[in-house]
Amino acid sequence: MSTFGVTLKKVVDDSYDIEIGFELEETLLRDLQNGLVGSVKKYAVVTDSIVKELYAEKICRMLQSAGYQAELFVFEQGEKSKTRKTKEMIEDAMLAHGFRRDCCIIAVGGGVVTDLAGFVAGTFGRGVPFINYATTLLAAADASVGGKTAVDTPLATNLIGLFNQPEKVYIDIAAWKTLPEIQISSGMAETIKHACMASGELFAYLEKHMQDLFSVQREVCEHIAEENCRIKYHVVEKDERESGLREILNLGHTVGRAVETVSDYRLHHGEAVAIGLVAQAKLSVRLGYMTGQEADRVVRLLQQAKLPVAIPAYIDREALVQKLYTDKKVRDGRLRFVVQKGIGGIVEFEDGVFATPVTEDVAREIILQL
């Protein structure tokens, strides 16, 4: 019998830029021509049925006119498409069009598109580079940045995926002008989450400028996009793989993800997160980390963003309690919650530990109050 020691030490530099601005299609082309992904000439532009006509076709044509081989791969819009089946459909279509390892994927769209396309990129030909061109506030605030890619399963959201960092992220704020109001609200939930956990200043700014955001006022949108990136990256740079600190980006998501799944995606992700933020605020008050007035401020800001602050009547409360156990923070069968501290802070329960066990009875009590 023999034993071979396989030494494979890696030094990885996954650094990349996030460019925030208005109408960044030409910037993307210039970056590709300047070698953003080396000498790659083949681009798979992955998008959904809505963003296709708004932006993706234009980007695809622009690449073709510049002499690149570019093809569009389109799937039906909506969270219900974020599945292994859609991933397989895109992979098969890419293979049929002759795409192999020498390609790059450009995800053009919101969070569903960037989550799915980033996951395809992570496994296609054992990994090809990808770029996110984010067209929604939700993608700008959360999904397109940070390198989490995944698909949903019937059991719960985001259970199958990879940490996979893009080559670059473009946040095109001009695209927010074509968003339905519900999409602005949905992205605001992740923005409010960032403010709740890390910045009292951002929280106060949102209280003051919510209307400017809905009318896509350029300066306000740019400020919000920058603050989202600053807060998120402060966390991701320290703990990319979520071994501790990154759990704080889960604020509001324990109840949020569960209610999203139990609603069968009738609730948008941001709407579900808003309900989850109210749940964690109630828990925080109960545990003594927030005052009732601070929790009321959170509720009011969510309402200003036209987000729900109560669980819809059609949701089966007991099914929701049981769904909490599909959360990735569950340890040894115990529910764990991230908890806000005042406005703009997060509770560190022990050194480097940011989630606390909560009994099922307490979780049920909070859900029944909502």
For ligand GLY, give the closer residue by CB, 52 or 148. 148
Exposure string (b/e) for 100-111, b if CB count within 10 Å is 16 or more?
Answer: eeebbbbbbbbb
Q: Using CB positions, name the residue nearest to ligand GLY.
A: 249
- Torsions phi, psi for 122 (to 5 deg): -70, -25
Nearer to ligand GLY, 109 or 146 (CB): 146
- Which of 109, 122, 129, 146 lies at the binding interface for ligand GLY (CB under 6 A)? 146
Binding of ligand GLY at residue 142 (CB under 6 A)? yes
DSSP tag of 91: H
The reply to whether 197 sits near ligand GLY by the rule CB under 6 A is no
Determine if 257 is a binding residue for ligand GLY (CB under 6 A): no
Contact 248, 197 (CB under 8 A): yes
Distance CA 84, CA 161 (A): 10
168 lies in the binding site for ligand GLY (CB under 6 A):
no
Structural tokens at position 69: 């081989």
Interface pick for ligand GLY out of 104, 225, 249, 277 (rule CB under 6 A): 249
Closest separation between CB of residue 1 and ligand GLY, Å? 44
Residue entry with tokens 């989450």: 193
Q: Is 110 in the site for ligand GLY (CB under 6 A)?
A: no
Q: Quick check: 151 binds ligand GLY (CB under 6 A)?
A: no
Asked if 248 is part of the footprint of ligand GLY (rule: CB under 6 A), the reply reads no
Separation in Å, CA 78 to CA 87, 189, 193, 287: 14, 18, 22, 37
Reading the block at residue 38, the tokens are 């080396």
Nearer to ligand GLY, 246 or 268 (CB): 246
Q: Which stretch binds ligand GLY (CB under 6 A): 141-149, 169-177, 202-210, 325-333?
A: 141-149
Please report whether residue 161 would count as binding ligand GLY according to CB under 6 A.
no
Alpha-carbon gap, residue 279 to 252, rounded angstroms: 7
* Residue 115 sits in the site that holds ligand GLY (CB under 6 A): no
The smaller minimum CB distance to ligand GLY, of residues 94 and 146, is found at: 146
DSSP 299-353: HHHHHHTT---S--TTS-HHHHHHHGGGSTT-BTTBEEE--B-SSS-B---BTTB
Least Å distance between CB 31 and ligand GLY? 24
Rounded to whole angstroms, the Cα distance separating 48 from 75 reads: 5
Say how many residues touch ligand GLY, by CB under 6 A. 5
Provide the 10 A C-beta neighbour count for residue 132. Answer: 32
Determine if 327 is a binding residue for ligand GLY (CB under 6 A): no
Binding residues for ligand GLY, rule: CB under 6 A, are: 142, 146, 148, 246, 249
